[in-house]
Structure 1
Amino acid sequence: MTTSYLLDTHILLWWLFNDPKLDKTCHSIIRNPENSIFVSSASAWEIATKYRLGKLPEATELLQKYPQTLEKARFTELSITTLHALRAGNLPIAHRDPFDRMLMAQAELENLPILTHDPAFQTGLIQTIPH
């Protein structure tokens, strides 16, 4: 039985950079070929923004080959729709990070549990698989 998951940007980066911060549960979920792994377009936006600001200098090659990297990892891009944008802007939470708000909105509207390590996602609005 296929289960689908949405990756938080940190989990995506830890997977792609083989970072030991990625715990065994998340690693197993992502690695399992029976699972469908989705990555939000907002993650590309967040990675590019952090790279531009000098907060993610190691992402040079990733940004140059981002679509190919997702394809090689067998991840599916989840594009941002108008409904996602409206929900992100109207989420009834105080969290201000626009990338997180978009991921939360997409997880809620697409009914996808999100793999995350960020306690900000514990809003009660979405199912999270905490790291």
Structure 2
Amino acid sequence: MSHQYLVDTHILLWVLNADSRLSDHHRDIFLAGEDVVVSAVSVAEIAIKKSLGKVTLTGNIVEILRSNGIPILSVNELHAARLEHLPLHHRDPFDRLLIAQAQIEGLTLVTADRHFSAYDVALV
């Protein structure tokens, strides 16, 4: 049985743009055919950053994910309610929602963000 991974926004952008900052280990998760999901939180963050000119991405993020067979994990009330119980080690609301989703869904979070290690969440 393969492992299930929730990819954070930076890793997703690095994969899509073949960015040199993407580690071999993180790249291998995609190449090995592991179960990878992307949060609707990352879709929103990318859309916002793209509209502000902070992200260069050709095409619509939802269509890109769909065409690559990558499922999108919706945000639900359990994910939102978990935010009340997360310590404030990190204030980025997008990251905090990703952490909450990973905790609730039992997913390993694929990230290069050092702030995530302060939380009770599986990381790679």
TM-score (norm. length: structure 2): 0.92
Q: Distance in 2 between matches of 1:77 and 1:15?
A: 16
Structure 1 runs, 4 residues or longer, greater than 3 Å off: none
Asked whether 1:91 is paired with 2:86, we answer yes
8 Å CA contact retained: 1:93, 1:123: no
Question: What is the match of residue 3 of structure 1?
Answer: 3
Structure 1: gaps spanning 5 or more residues: none
8 Å CA contact retained: 2:47, 2:61: no
Structure 2: gaps spanning 5 or more residues: none
TM-superposition CA deviations, 1:16-72 (whole Å, max 9, x none):
111111111011111112x1101000001111121223322x13x33xx32221122
Asked whether 1:17 is paired with 2:17, we answer yes
Question: What is the match of residue 105 of structure 2?
Answer: 110
Question: What is the match of residue 117 of structure 2?
Answer: 122
Question: What is the match of residue 52 of structure 2?
Answer: 53
Does the C-alpha gap of structure 1 residues 101 and 124 become closer, same or farther in structure 2, counting only changes over 3 Å? closer
Q: Distance in 2 between matches of 1:91 and 1:24?
A: 30
Higher share in strand: 1
CA offset at residue 89 of structure 1? 4.0
Asked whether 1:74 is paired with 2:82, we answer no
- Secondary structure of the residue aligned to 1:28 is helix
8 Å CA contact retained: 2:89, 2:115: no
* Sequence identity (%): 40
Question: What is the match of residue 44 of structure 1?
Answer: 43
8 Å CA contact retained: 1:116, 1:128: yes
Aligned length: 124
**Cα RMSD between the aligned structures?**
1.3
